[in-house]
A and B are shown apart, each in its own frame.
Chain A
Amino acid sequence: MVSEEIELKVVDLKKWFPVRMGVISTLLSRKTKYVKAVDGVSFDVKKGEIFGLAGESGCGKTTAGKTILRLLEPTSGEIYFQGQNITNIGKIDMKQLRKKMQIVYQDPYESINPRMTVYDIISEPISIHKLADSPAEKEEIIYSVLKDVELVPPEEFMLRFPHELSGGQRQRVAVARTLVMKPSFIVADEPISMLDVSIRAGILKVMLRAGEAGGISYIFITHDLAYARHICHRGAIMYLGKIAEMAPMDNLVKNPLHPYTVALMTAVPVPDPRLEKARAIIGGEVPTPIDPPSGCRFHPRCSKFMNICREEEPPLREIESGHYVACHAVR
């Protein structure tokens, strides 16, 4: 259930990465260039809500996810978790919070240690955060979390190494390692994009069920709008480090307003041969985020381009209730 309580709030978050320069440029003291991966993003996630952060590669969605968890230090902006400003809190306080704020990575072949057994992988966070008083209790916790992610019978999986598991089973272990801390907020960074279609829904089901039972809020980072459509309550479309449009998922899919969202939605192929084919209604590709276009970043590719778009950056404005768009052409 989605409640009205705000679990996470991000205000004007920025993450810039400096571009490494050569000796000569440095000596001539040329201005440092930055990759503005996330460049002023604001949104909130309610308790129990699944918030989709979608966009093409390089739009900054993963950087945003990692910065929110302070796995990357924000350049500026503020992050509030359960009402507390966590932008600048120290390591020790952050460690306490990490229990509650977790991440599931994209690639289960790289995100879990190949030398550790499933038991060790899941028991590590239990030990670090002292979640169990006795070895017996620890084993019980591991047993039950493995059941939750449907690695059954658990005793059969506990002593296996990752190479003895399939991709889907590995991702279940990665999810179990996260759920064992009973988090209230999870960033799921493309958790199914490396997996086969036939098993994707199984992983999602495990995550969503745990989410409903524990009131977990998710940020679901994805490039796949079809999955986002079926999972997320609300979604934001990012383009070159900024949110172009943000709305309840139904609105985003059925009534996209930003020309970029419209282009994305028309380009998504549909598994139905009788429906109209997906089309690319805009040309070109996403430009580099080093020197993004002035004004609205989408203007060089936009079908509704006006002069103002080149000069002034459009703010993210609420057009209808809960439907935000950053576009000069949408009124």
Chain B
Amino acid sequence: MSILDVQGLKMYYSTLKGDVKAVDGVVLEVEKREAIGLVGESGCGKTTFALAIIRLLPWNGRIVGGNVLFDGVDIIGMDEKKFDTDYRWKRLSYVFQGAMNAMNPVFRVGDQIAEAITLHEDVEKEEAMNRARDLFKLVGIDPVRVSSYPHELSGGMKQRAMIAMALACNPDFIIADEPTTALDVIVQAQTLQVIDRLRRELGLTMMLITHDLSVVAQTCLTCAIMYAGKIVEYTDINTVFEEPLHPYTKALTSAFPSIKEERRELVSIRGAPPNLLNPPTGCRFNPRCPYSMKICTEEEPEYKNQGGRHYVACHLLG
């Protein structure tokens, strides 16, 4: 059974200029122990989608439609108090984007991790601190650093501390939002190794949000490509790179340079990602699509199964 079942989720932001349709009908099933990459360009709604799942939307964001089942239970309609005590951080946690700024600068990192534990479980502070030390060991930081303040840690250590914090209450499902974006390449590789090891050792289900296809290629088993508030293609990681079906996926994978290839001319996708205040009608990719047909401007393509666990939303596929 799938651990996460998103059924046509719609999430809009109200602004003075109207509704920004950041997430507009997302369908996604995540199996237990799956490592799924959610890939898209900036502003495509990937972070909003993840925040909606863990119910941490900003004040002007609201869920307009759809449903999210976590382990078979509806978590969108659930009472906030119940969600907070039984789900958020306990079963489903989050590694926030920008570890540099995600921690409170005036508290010791160990205390911040212990706080998450004492809030959710009936344990003494001392016990929680011990667990924080164990978590530090787990992510590869010297346990004495629990008494450091965030500014005393390097960028890579802060990111590991954030991962430790997300693991504080032994969750089943972890969302990592651009966990390596601000890090240097060697530290990025170190962090991804830690994430990959923990996922295997602890049997976690993971959703990795990123704009970087190469990071997904290295850490995930499946991949969902998001464009302008919708998932346009979902399939296993090899198919994404070898036989993608959606024109956007094709364009995106070929736009991504690899250091292992011979020198080549880089390609881009014409135009720019749309403004979600007023997205294009029909298929949202149609103004940039080289195969655009008349129907693409008129009718939204259905998100259909292409055999196995391969889903695509494109009129070209009939």
Contacts and interface: CB of A to CB of B under 8 A. Distances in A.
Interface of A: 56-57, 166-169, 196-202, 204-205, 223, 225-227, 229-231, 249-250, 253, 263-275, 277-280, 282-283, 285-286
A49 to B, nearest CB: 14
B123 interface: no
Contact of B214 (A167, A264, A269): A269
B218 A229 contact: no
A9 to B, nearest CB: 25
Given A226-B259, A270-B260, 15 more contacts: A168-B272, A197-B256, A199-B268, A200-B255, A202-B268, A205-B266, A229-B257, A267-B185, A268-B259, A271-B257, A272-B258, A275-B260, A279-B189, A280-B193, A283-B190
B263 interface: yes
Interface string B125-141: 00000000000000000
Contacts, number: 133
A279 B185 CA distance: 10
Contact of B263 (A225, A229, A263, A268): A229
A263 B217 CA distance: 20
A79 B138 CA distance: 50
A271 B154 contact: no
Interface residues of B, number: 45
Interface in B164-214: 184-190, 192-193, 211-214
A40 B187 CA distance: 26
Interface of B: 41-42, 154-156, 184-190, 192-193, 211-215, 217-218, 237-238, 240-241, 251-253, 255-261, 263-270, 272-273
B268 A201 contact: yes
A263 B186 contact: yes
Contact of A269 (B42, B218, B255, B263): B218
Question: Lowest 9 A-B CB distances belong to which pairs?
Answer: A201-B268, A201-B266, A267-B189, A280-B189, A269-B214, A56-B184, A202-B268, A271-B214, A198-B269
A273 B186 contact: no
A301 to B, nearest CB: 9
Nearest to A198: B269
Contacts of A223: 184-185
24 contacts: A56-B184, A57-B184, A167-B272, A169-B272, A196-B272, A197-B211, A197-B212, A197-B252, A197-B256, A198-B273, A199-B269, A202-B268, A205-B266, A230-B264, A253-B259, A264-B185, A266-B189, A267-B185, A267-B189, A268-B214, A270-B259, A275-B260, A278-B218, A285-B184
A36 B192 CA distance: 31
Given A201-B268, A269-B217, A56 B185 contact: yes
B272 A199 contact: yes
Contacts of B184: 56-57, 223, 285-286
B266 A200 contact: yes
